Amino acid sequence: METYNYEATTKDGNVVTGTLEVANESLAIDRIQDMGYFPMKVSKADDVE
């Protein structure tokens, strides 16, 4: 498992951020969408921005 940071919006347009432990970026996006959010940015937690 890897740690991913994300930034997403809610259906109301609010921005939410968080971290997920998943196997890959695709699963992170799926998990974010399953929570009812719209992913804007997903990156590995150890990546330098």
Hey, is 28 helix, strand or coil? helix
Contact 22, 31 (CB under 8 A): yes
Residue 44: predicted pLDDT:
95
Which residues face 38 on adjacent strands? 9
Q: What is the pLDDT of residues 1-49, one digit of tens each?
A: 999 999 999 999 999 999 999 999 999 999 999 999 999 999 999 855 5
